[in-house]
Copies of this chain bind each other. A is one copy, B any other.
Amino acid sequence: MPRTIDHDERRQRIGEAVWRLVLREGVGTVSLRTVAAEADLVLGSLRHSFPTKAELLAFAMRLAHERAAARISRHAAIRDPRRRAVAALRELLPLDDERTVEMRVHLALMAEGPRHEELTTLADTAHDAIGELCRRLLTDLRDAGLVAPQRHLGRETTALHALVDGLALHAMRDPGRRRAATRALDDHLDALAGPPPGRP
């Protein structure tokens, strides 16, 4: 099905053109006209794929989420649950340019939520998916004996999800914090084998 592949590649190219505009000049400059120019397409051709600016922005955000999700799902093949958890969670930290760009795009588009409801819905869906990922990874770690049985899975999911999001934001502010972020993640997973709940 070469036509489907071409179609998909073309949409991704358009999505990346939106990313570049957002990162270089701000969401405010995104329009069918500026994106067509950035993607080197004629306006009518772009409009055929994305009739409105809202659809362009939503696709650009979805593309960022899909790229991260694809990398995470590839780690599902790692058999050791601890290594699998670390690999998956590191995809949520801005440890290289690819992940940093995706996160900057996500944050910039999320800030448009009040004007574009669809973006808030997409951000909520991604948020919930990350929560679910945390819960699944913790379940696997517990089944492998790497989480103390007295630990409450729901509470640990809350904490892990918040920790990863907080570490990601801090590493975004300061790329010098990338190593500290991965270390904090490792420490957190180490600590799961011990105490709470109830003071130790």
The reply to whether A161 and B155 form a contact with Cβ atoms under 8 Å apart is no
The reply to whether A158 and B180 form a contact with Cβ atoms under 8 Å apart is yes
Q: Contacts A163-B163, A170-B161 known; A193 to B183 CB distance under 8 Å? A: no
The reply to whether B173 and A159 form a contact with Cβ atoms under 8 Å apart is no
This chain: copies in complex: 2
| A197 CB contacts on chain B under 8 angstroms | 187, 190
The reply to whether B159 and A165 form a contact with Cβ atoms under 8 Å apart is no
| A154 CB contacts on chain B under 8 angstroms | 180
Q: How far is the CA of A12 from the CA of B191 in the complex (A)?
A: 45
Q: How far is the CA of A158 from the CA of B170 in the complex (A)?
A: 9
Give residues of chain A (149-200) contacting chain B, Cβ–Cβ below 8 Å: 154-155, 158-159, 161-167, 169-170, 173, 177, 180-181, 183-184, 187-188, 190-191, 193-200
Interface residues of A (CB under 8 A from B): 26, 111, 114, 124, 127, 154-155, 158-159, 161-167, 169-170, 173, 177, 180-181, 183-184, 187-188, 190-191, 193-200
The reply to whether A170 and B180 form a contact with Cβ atoms under 8 Å apart is no
Query: Can you list 12 A-B pairs with a CB-CB distance of less than 8 A?
Result: A155-B180, A155-B187, A158-B167, A158-B177, A158-B183, A162-B170, A163-B163, A164-B166, A190-B196, A190-B200, A191-B196, A194-B195
Q: How far is the CB of A97 from chain B (nearest CB, A)?
A: 20
The reply to whether B177 and A167 form a contact with Cβ atoms under 8 Å apart is no
The reply to whether A187 and B193 form a contact with Cβ atoms under 8 Å apart is no
Q: How far is the CB of A141 from chain B (nearest CB, A)?
A: 12
Q: How far is the CA of A162 from the CA of B170 in the complex (A)?
A: 7
